[in-house]
Amino acid sequence: MALISYMSRIQFDFGALRLLPGELALLGVKRPLLVTDPGVRSVGLVERALDGLDGARPSVFEETPSNPTEAAAEAALALYRGNACDGVVALGGGSAIDLSKAVGLLATHPGSLSDYGVRGGGSARIGEIAPVLAIPTTAGTGAEVGRAATLTLKSGRKIACVSLKLIPKAAICDPELTLSLPPMMTAATGMDALSHGIESYLSTSVNPPAAAIALDCVERAGRWIEYAVSHGDDREARWQMLMAALEGGLTFQKSLGAVHAAGHPLGALGYHHGTLNAILLPPVLRFNASAVPEKIARLKAVLGLAPSQDLADWIEHLTGRIGLPTRLSELGLDPALIPELAEEASHEHLSETNPRPATAADYRRILEAAFR
Ligand SMILES: [Zn+2]
């Protein structure tokens, strides 16, 4: 079964931020809530976004945590309601964008986030949400065109809300905004983009247009990430990485696989999502390789690898070269948690589209290999 669906309006160019007033007008948003975080504020991007907006200054929620939470969503929602807002502008990385989707959902739906989790059948309960316009300031998550919002509930449990209705109505992708991204964030978020291309391409779901986008994502991210990390002020490298990230988000709809399935329970412990994916890619690729040899060969070709080179080894070396850890042990993970994490990974919905079925025992071996 192929379900093919692209529904975002995307403005992509240097300086595209100046289009914000016009894009809000198209959406009919007059009183937006701007959702951002202190890091984005500190590099002056909030002021730059607000400068173009004439009339009333929008309300600003800038306490987005590094991993979005239900508590933050409710705090932002209170501000949204208190100021009679009619739409959300997300300015930041995946966390600010996911938080904005949650605010847009809660502003228009009864109950709490836990009513809308994909695992509890909540997707069917998600109708039209308040309009969300996303402006990414990192090049990685692809959340600006993605249909998922992942948050940590007050209970500590992670919840993924997944619906076409959660896709931001518009995205403004301005590579200029990523020029100030520090090397470690460039590396970690860039590896997230690369992992989206690779995992989506290898996933079992059938969607040739999405597969083509995935290959283009892999080519750009794989060829440019190292240069973007070492030359953060290079405009071409920033353009390429932001495009790779966008393509990673567009190709999501072909689904993902074991890297993200194993990464989600680890992410609930507070580790950076992109760093986890960089560490998990090599052992998952070694696990998957025998199931999809032609696809692995295709990935190697777009990355410019020789047939004799090993893709997993190449990614592991790349991860090390751009300054990221290559082992879970370097993150300080307690290895005693691995059996439980493996069990959780095997129940993740993304595991269902991994090219080789993975059991809890398989995830245990993958996590052990990623730990050493
Ligand atoms: Zn990801």
**Digitized pLDDT (tens) for each residue of the chain, 372 residues in all:** 667 777 789 999 999 999 999 999 999 999 999 999 999 999 999 999 988 787 667 899 999 998 899 999 999 999 999 999 999 999 999 999 999 999 999 999 999 999 999 988 999 999 999 999 999 999 999 999 999 999 999 998 889 999 999 999 999 999 999 998 999 999 999 999 999 999 999 999 999 999 999 999 999 999 999 999 999 999 999 999 999 999 999 998 899 999 999 998 998 888 999 999 999 999 999 999 999 999 999 999 999 999 999 999 999 999 999 999 999 999 999 999 999 999 999 999 899 999 999 999 999 999 999 999
Distance between Cα 195 and ligand 1 center (Å) = 7
**pLDDT of amino acid 56:** 62
DSSP 3-state helix, strand, coil percentages of the chain (rounded to 5)?
A: 60, 10, 30
Distance between Cα 83 and ligand 1 center (Å) = 33
Distance between Cα 190 and ligand 1 center (Å) = 10
**pLDDT of amino acid 158:** 84
Rounded to whole angstroms, how far apart are CA atoms 28 and 188?
36
DSSP 241-303: HHHHHHHHHHHGGG---HHHHHHHHHHTTT--HHHHHHHHHHHHHHHHGGG-HHHHHHHHHHH
Which residue, chain included where needed, has tokens 């999809």? 292
Distance between Cα 94 and ligand 1 center (Å) = 9
Distance between Cα 252 and ligand 1 center (Å) = 9
**pLDDT of amino acid 55:** 67
Side-chain-side CA neighbours of residue 286 (13 Å): 16
Distance between Cα 55 and ligand 1 center (Å) = 37
Six token digits for residue 219: 């080519």
Q: What is the CA radius of gyration of the chain?
A: 19
**pLDDT of amino acid 4:** 72
Distance between Cα 47 and ligand 1 center (Å) = 28
pLDDT of 307-346, one tens digit each? 999 999 999 999 999 999 999 999 999 999 999 999 999 9
The one-character DSSP state at 147 is S
Using DSSP's 3-state secondary structure scheme, residue 96 falls into: helix
Distance between Cα 270 and ligand 1 center (Å) = 14
Distance between Cα 196 and ligand 1 center (Å) = 6
- With CA atoms as reference, report the closest residue to 36 among 65, 62, 10: 62
Six token digits for residue 254: 């072909």
Bridge partner list, 142: none
Q: Which residues contact 38 (CB under 8 A, 6 or more apart)?
A: 62, 63
Strands 132-136 and 170-173: parallel
Say if residues 210 and 216 touch (Cβ distance below 8 Å). no
**pLDDT of amino acid 9:** 93
Q: Which residues contact 211 (CB under 8 A, 6 or more apart)?
A: 200, 201, 251, 254
Distance between Cα 339 and ligand 1 center (Å) = 22
pTM of the model: 0.94
Distance between Cα 81 and ligand 1 center (Å) = 31
Distance between Cα 57 and ligand 1 center (Å) = 33
Distance between Cα 260 and ligand 1 center (Å) = 6
Within a 10 A sphere around the Cβ of 4, how many other Cβ atoms?
11
Catalogue the E-assigned strands of the chain.
9-12, 32-35, 59-61, 87-92, 132-136, 148-152, 158-162, 170-173
Q: Which residues contact 355 (CB under 8 A, 6 or more apart)?
A: 202, 203, 204, 257, 288, 291, 292, 295
Distance between Cα 153 and ligand 1 center (Å) = 19
- Give the end-to-end CA distance of the chain in Å, rounded to a whole number: 39
Residue type, 337: L
Rounded to whole angstroms, how far apart are CA atoms 300 and 281?
14
Distance between Cα 97 and ligand 1 center (Å) = 13
Distance between Cα 350 and ligand 1 center (Å) = 11
